Structure 1
Amino acid sequence: MAEQIVKTEYSEVMQKSYIDYSMSVITARALPDARDGLKPVQRRVLYAMDQLGLNYDKPHRKSARIVGDTMGKYHPHGDSSIYETLVVLSQDFKKGMALVDGHGNFGSIEGDGAAAMRYTEAKLKKFTQDVYLADLDKNVVDFVPNFDETEKEPAVLPVRVPNLLVNGADGIAVGMTTNIPTHNLGEVVDAVCAYMDNEEITTKELMQYCIGPDFPTGGIVINKSELEQIYETGNGKIKLRGKVEFEPAAKRSERDKLVITEIPYTMIGANIGKFISDVVDLIETKKITDVVDISNASSKEGIRIVLELKKNADVEYLKNVLYKKTKLEDTFGVNMLAIVDGRPETLGLKQIIKHHIDFQYEIATRKYTTLLNKELDNKEIKEGLIKACDIIDLIIEILRGSKNLKMAKDCLVNGNTEDIQFKSEASKKQAAGLNFTERQAQAILEMRLYKLIGLEILALQKEYEECLEKIAKYERILGSKKEMAKVIKADLLKIKKEYALPRKTQIEDAKAVVLEEKKVQEQEVMFIMDRFGYAKTIDMSAYERNKEAVHNENRYVFSCMNTDKICIFTDNGSLHQIKVLDIPFTRFRDKGTPIDNLGNYDSSGENILYLTPFEQLKGKKMLFMTKLGMAKLVDTSEFEVSKRTVAATKLQEDDLLVGIYVTDAVKEVFSRFSLDGEVKEEEMIVSSQHVIVQTADGYFLRFPLSDVPEKKKGAVGVRAIKLTGKDTVEDVYLLTQGDELTIEYRGKNVDFARLKMAHRDTKGTKIRV
């Protein structure tokens, strides 16, 4: 066959392919069905377990076998996703009602992973069998071909409770996500029954039965007043808190304790470890000072995170800090998105229950139709057998006189007596009047002789009466929506009675945490940092006792208030700010902490040019000089920012700062007369200081600081010196008028006082060596 090239627009092919992929992920992978509340992989795992016969009263089976059957028959998307689904279905700290009974290591609430599938075993829970998989043999749901059309699988499971609410759901599709909280089984059943009694019921009225989410980890929902809006729209944020209890010391040798017994649902997994780490950070940074130790004493019995307290600790303040500064108070983003009739749709509480009830009516209709048809068939057979018992002698005569089974059956159904030997003409005439149905005739031919015993005939008549009662019952249910509703409600109430658990999550309207930071007692401290970058603050008295050693052993030494900030200006034009309170306050001989660990400063990529407390900069102007000769003055008010790191100046490509100075420059206003006699005011920089710029090629330029204009920190600046070739600025000095300063330059003394005064943006004087 000759090849045929199809020309098409590339963008159209990509668009169609991506839309097809997106819809596949949305409808067949990531989002649950509104009817059974299950994602395809969950449904397939449960069905595969049911087909393997892993009933609650049977032994556990290796998880690898379950995963293999699921992947080979129904879900060809990789074993890891299937096993992860199996694990989650067994975790009672993630699901409102766990559906799988796991045996072995199936992970923990603290984020520990499950053992490999070859080590663990699983089977179905009784709840799952009774509520999720019952009646699959009664044609209650459609079965569809699997991926290779070698097996059949249910399009949806006949779940009898709103699983979308009971177990919640989470999933990330393409361009959309779902996140539905878990709810209490008993409350959900009550809400469903209330809806069935009154389909015009409002969301607010439904919430009298289902008052809000019920998370398996307990905790407290603190925005009760917002829940109605969330359940009305299917979107919103639920605010959660862990439960904290105060345990006073039982003995004098013990300490008072603050114990976390329940955590927010969002904290399960690695976030428990992060919470403990955050508390440790709060202790180390002295945000909380009343906690002496923290330990995790959680076990199978439940969560127990213990904070040991100092005597007379402020418990309420500690609780507020934990709620404000850690994940002990968190938000659960609700987005109740599910697949409805093949399309994703955001559902409110009432809509979820409505779709569930519609599904239940459909299941019940199909179930009782199947049962009715079965009983009608049974009735037909029973009627035939009873009639046969009344004329059993004739039946036996027909059987003995027939040459084969076909001849006997034809006589029973059509009254055909040809070639059949009868004892008398009366029998033959009676046989000719027989008109059993095909099914009745087959049942008569298969009937055993012991059925002719008197008691067996009575039992047959009793079964027939029971069959008639069942037919009447099924016809009554199918003929009246009200009767069907009664059956569905009775079923739900039975499930509630057997499986419902007490509510775990409290729901209330709590006050928002207002954390009033404890005022720090202001005091003067001495900041010191050695040449290796280890910084600390020490008491002033310790400094006075060790003054000589402090200055000999450290690169930076200055006093500051403990409420101040340390400003670090680096050669790449950055300003890093560190609160003095974040710097460890220690004894003089203690090592301190690397300055890199206290802020965003990175010693491997930038060098410190200037380090000072911010209070000493207030009201001043700073001179910035770069390697490419750009200079400017910046008012220090520009650096009053809340960010820990900002750009102190803008640099050109391949440029670096070589010098930063705090100057005596001020801005003064001068008045002058213009030619037309008007008085005009002008701002000018006034300073008694001079700038000396030194280049790598030996040029020195001295000019008044007042020549340098004031700019914003985001400006590049102006040219301070004309550079030739590849010459660069090597150093810069700031000299107050009248001061004398001599430096050694390549073995020759350079007296700055003897350098002639010039102007900015000139070449300067070459020093010959």
Structure 2
Amino acid sequence: MQEEQIIRTEYSDLMKKSYIDYAMSVIIARALPDVRDGLKPVQRRTLYDMHELGIRYDRPYRKCARIVGDTMGKYHPHGDSSIYEALVVMAQEFKKGMVLVDGHGNFGSIEGDGAAAMRYTEARLAKFTQMAFLKDLDKDVVNFMPNFDETEKEPEVLPVRIPNLLVNGAEGIAVGMATSIPTHNLGEVIDAVKAYMKNDEISTRQLMKYVKGPDFPTGGIVVNKDDLLNIYETGTGKIKLRGKVEVEDMKGGKQRLVITEIPYTMIGAGIGKFLNDVCALVETKKTNDIVDISNQSSKEGIRIVIELKKGADVKNLTNMLYKKTRLEDTFGVNMLAVADGRPETMGLKKIIEHHVDFQFELATRKYKNLLAKELDRKEIQEGLIKACDVIDLIIEILRGSRSVKDAKECLTKGITDNIVFKSKISRKMASMLRFTERQATAILEMRLYKLIGLEIEALMKEHEETLANIARYEDILNNYDSMADVIIEELDAFKKEFAVKRKTVVENAEEAVFEEKKIEEQEIVFLMDRFGYARCVDVPTYERNKEAADSENKYVVNCLNTGKICIFTDGGKMHQLKVLDVPFGKFRDKGQPVDNMSNFDSTQEEIVYLCDAEQMRFSRIFFATKQGMIKQVEGTEFQVSKRTIAATKLQEGDSLVSVAVITDNKQVVLQTKDGYFLRFPASEVSEKKKGAVGVRGIRLKKNDELEAAYLFDEGTEAKAVYKEKEVVLNRLRIGKRDTQGVKNRG
């Protein structure tokens, strides 16, 4: 029996190699487009499969489920959803510069609605795709490779005739890298390619005379024109995009803003978010100029209408929308693609250079293939023409032959041994024949009607055309300028048939600046019930309903509408809540949960104390924890801009029990769970920083813990309830901090 062989290897080395293999597979074979055809593998395979199925632009639509299933079974062994999603995107005119698939049915909308299931939708290739992407696949212009199970062949790259990487852009996330290429105008890109072919020393700045900038299918305005040169030179950068806003006059002197184009980045859920953001500006009183907002978009295009109050400052409001919503957004550019088998970030010129090299490679292979076919045709035509001149001799050879083999040997080598001739002259002439194998086969297969005079004339004319084609193809293959002219001629044809006007405006716009309306400062009252719902009312409303407000709410805090509310929790945190974020209204309004307006989480924290942030500025704050630790902290330490901070340091297993404002004339009473009470002056509470644990306030017995802390003014009566019995705090004997205290028998 053969011994089992165990190969020992370092685990980290194995993991490193496996991860690198996986990463390269994702980068090269899934997430990034090829610079030559601008397609990811899933897009390339889907288009090729549709071509193979014969779903052309001039034929009936076919179910998308059929296309997806065939692509998955033959070429792309991944999930059907990824294939269908790629198919859908290639059919959406609001995502692609030039749609590659002609979709029939519900293929989603610009507002983020998904496409219908693949069993309902139908598709076929767009004419542009058929002409520019798949036209010469039968001319051996690209290499084919085996599919995943080696039962089919698929192209390594499609013979795309236009710079698709620029025209349709690309988006993809690989391992450790991502690509984001904006769409461009077909006509402009073609002009740039032609300019490069005429002068390969052309600079990026000169190319940008043709390519003005991105041309998004959603239109919009690029507002940082001066940054584009650097972006196109380096292949990376940020493009600032704005939606197009028009002002329309209404009855009564009112106006409305109409958004007719949106930034490309706002496609999908971004439109709904924009509407919500505008509503939020109104609700938070950032603007009082908006009366109504409605989305009137349809198949004809985007139309979002914002109705304004009479006398509204239109320019200021428009700038506010640019600054506070996604009506002005950033498109991050990273022109990363697979070039020569590896990922590379390229500028505009480099992408065009790769495209032109690919076009010359395609043209070379195409015309070599065409030349070979024409040379074969020429050989056969010359044989047939020669045969027509000696047709009587050939007929005599055929009639005198016993087999096709004998006749063929006579035609190609002049062997006449097994052939019966009418005369010695015929035999001698036959022995002089030297047709090629191809010519002899063509002669033997020739039909008698080819001997008609007109047919012979047609053959002569065809031969002349063949000779002209050979001369033309040889000139194209041997002359750079001739090949360049052919490529340019083809590009001009694509531009003439498929180019459209630019949709995106490129300019240098001023920074959007708006004057935020100053909020008039006023005193209000913050109310929060025991369920955590908070609201604000004005002071007169509170005064009128004081008794109900105090009894129904757990917290009642006087504050300024421009201020903040501080929430201290048992976990030792302090959350800040802007008063402006709290709903302001009528006394009986329900309000909104504090969780929704701050970082406070009622499922994991409990509120220990709640106060006005301004109140703490001139105060000292007292802290007491379950383990009996106490301290006082200057209130100014809590004047911070962060929404959440650590209010105090807690030891393991400890939690906050009490937080309150403290002064020197106060008396402190600490009460434990087991009923020990300790009273001492506030002056004995050590002043510490908020990051300190504090000092021990009371000595706790085993399994006992601090349950409550009380502060009251010396000389005033104060009471507390312990086990349903009243305890008069000011009658307790004054002791010292860090002692056991007095046991209350209940």
* TM-score, scaled relative to structure 1: 0.94
Structure 1 SS opposite 2:360: helix
Find out whether 1:729 has 2:706 as its counterpart.
yes
1:199-218 equivalence runs, <5 A = 199-218=200-219
Q: Which amino acid aligns with 1:555?
A: K
Residue 678 of structure 1 corresponds to none
Residue 439 of structure 2 corresponds to 440
Q: CA deviation at 1:607?
A: 2.9
Structure 2 SS opposite 1:293: strand
Unaligned runs of 5+ in 2: none
Aligned CA distance change for structure 1 residues 318 and 611 (closer, same or farther; 3 Å): same
Find out whether 1:716 has 2:715 as its counterpart.
no
Aligned CA distance change for structure 1 residues 372 and 615 (closer, same or farther; 3 Å): same
Deviations 1:531-582, CA, capped at 9 Å, x for gaps: 4333222233333443444334433334322112122222322222222222
Find out whether 1:458 has 2:435 as its counterpart.
no
Deviations 1:392-412, CA, capped at 9 Å, x for gaps: 222222222222222222222
Residue 407 of structure 1 corresponds to 406
Aligned CA distance change for structure 1 residues 129 and 549 (closer, same or farther; 3 Å): same
Deviations 1:713-755, CA, capped at 9 Å, x for gaps: 2221111111111111122122323333344545765443443
Aligned CA distance change for structure 1 residues 256 and 152 (closer, same or farther; 3 Å): same
Residue in structure 2 matching 1:760, options 725, 737, 740: 737
Alignment: residue pair count: 745
Q: CA deviation at 1:33?
A: 1.1
Q: Which amino acid aligns with 1:132?
A: F
Greater shift, 58-67 or 538-547, is seen at: 538-547
Structure 2 SS opposite 1:537: strand
Residue 673 of structure 1 corresponds to none
Residue 181 of structure 1 corresponds to 182
Deviations 1:587-646, CA, capped at 9 Å, x for gaps: 223333333332222333333332222222221111111121111111111111112222
1:55-70 equivalence runs, <5 A = 55-70=56-71
Q: CA deviation at 1:383?
A: 1.1
Residue 114 of structure 2 corresponds to 113
Counterpart-to-counterpart distance in 1, 2:549 and 2:16: 69
Structure 2 SS opposite 1:691: strand
Q: Which amino acid aligns with 2:182?
A: P
1:618-629 equivalence runs, <5 A = 618-629=617-628
Counterpart-to-counterpart distance in 1, 2:673 and 2:159: 84
Structure 2 SS opposite 1:283: helix
Counterpart-to-counterpart distance in 1, 2:457 and 2:721: 128
Q: Which amino acid aligns with 1:761?
A: D
Residue 350 of structure 1 corresponds to 349
1:541-580 equivalence runs, <5 A = 541-580=540-579
Residue 690 of structure 1 corresponds to 667
Deviations 1:104-145, CA, capped at 9 Å, x for gaps: 111221222222222111111111111001111111111111
Counterpart-to-counterpart distance in 1, 2:46 and 2:447: 44
Structure 1 SS opposite 2:210: coil
Aligned CA distance change for structure 1 residues 44 and 394 (closer, same or farther; 3 Å): same
1:265-344 equivalence runs, <5 A = 265-344=264-343
Aligned CA distance change for structure 1 residues 148 and 603 (closer, same or farther; 3 Å): closer
Q: Which amino acid aligns with 1:31?
A: L
State whether residues 287 and 517 of structure 2, in contact with CA within 8 Å, keep that contact through their aligned partners in structure 1.
no
Counterpart-to-counterpart distance in 2, 1:115 and 1:710: 67
Aligned CA distance change for structure 1 residues 630 and 166 (closer, same or farther; 3 Å): same
Q: CA deviation at 1:766?
A: 2.3
Structure 1 SS opposite 2:691: coil
1:119-198 equivalence runs, <5 A = 119-198=120-199
State whether residues 608 and 659 of structure 2, in contact with CA within 8 Å, keep that contact through their aligned partners in structure 1.
yes
Counterpart-to-counterpart distance in 2, 1:528 and 1:212: 54
Residue 370 of structure 1 corresponds to 369
Q: Which amino acid aligns with 1:278?
A: D
Find out whether 1:22 has 2:17 as its counterpart.
no
Counterpart-to-counterpart distance in 2, 1:93 and 1:715: 58
Deviations 1:678-730, CA, capped at 9 Å, x for gaps: xxxxxxxxx22221212222222122212222222222111111111111112
Structure 1 SS opposite 2:524: strand
Q: Which amino acid aligns with 1:6?
A: I
Q: CA deviation at 1:381?
A: 1.1
Q: Which amino acid aligns with 2:438?
A: R
Residue 79 of structure 1 corresponds to 80
Find out whether 1:539 has 2:538 as its counterpart.
yes
Counterpart-to-counterpart distance in 1, 2:85 and 2:108: 10
Counterpart-to-counterpart distance in 2, 1:268 and 1:628: 55
Structure 1 SS opposite 2:608: strand
Counterpart-to-counterpart distance in 2, 1:743 and 1:417: 135
Counterpart-to-counterpart distance in 1, 2:225 and 2:337: 24
Counterpart-to-counterpart distance in 2, 1:334 and 1:606: 43
Structure 2 SS opposite 1:158: coil
Structure 2 SS opposite 1:170: strand
Deviations 1:509-552, CA, capped at 9 Å, x for gaps: 22222343210112222333334333222233333443444334
Q: CA deviation at 1:414?
A: 1.5
Residue 96 of structure 2 corresponds to 95
Deviations 1:457-497, CA, capped at 9 Å, x for gaps: 11111111111111111111111111111111111111111
Q: CA deviation at 1:345?
A: 1.1
Residue 639 of structure 2 corresponds to 640
Aligned CA distance change for structure 1 residues 599 and 447 (closer, same or farther; 3 Å): same
Aligned CA distance change for structure 1 residues 512 and 435 (closer, same or farther; 3 Å): same
Q: Which amino acid aligns with 1:490?
A: E
Aligned CA distance change for structure 1 residues 8 and 605 (closer, same or farther; 3 Å): closer
Unaligned runs of 5+ in 1: 665-686
Structure 2 SS opposite 1:25: helix
Aligned CA distance change for structure 1 residues 78 and 698 (closer, same or farther; 3 Å): closer
Residue 676 of structure 1 corresponds to none
1:403-552 equivalence runs, <5 A = 403-552=402-551
Counterpart-to-counterpart distance in 2, 1:33 and 1:733: 73
Q: CA deviation at 1:499?
A: 0.7
Counterpart-to-counterpart distance in 2, 1:105 and 1:76: 26
Structure 2 SS opposite 1:604: coil
Counterpart-to-counterpart distance in 2, 1:740 and 1:470: 115
Counterpart-to-counterpart distance in 2, 1:117 and 1:86: 10
Counterpart-to-counterpart distance in 1, 2:17 and 2:719: 77
Structure 2 SS opposite 1:351: helix
* Aligned-residue RMSD, C-alpha: 1.9
Q: CA deviation at 1:349?
A: 0.9
Q: Which amino acid aligns with 2:114?
A: G
Residue 36 of structure 2 corresponds to 35
Aligned CA distance change for structure 1 residues 768 and 62 (closer, same or farther; 3 Å): closer
Greater shift, 460-469 or 415-424, is seen at: 415-424
Greater shift, 524-533 or 505-514, is seen at: 524-533
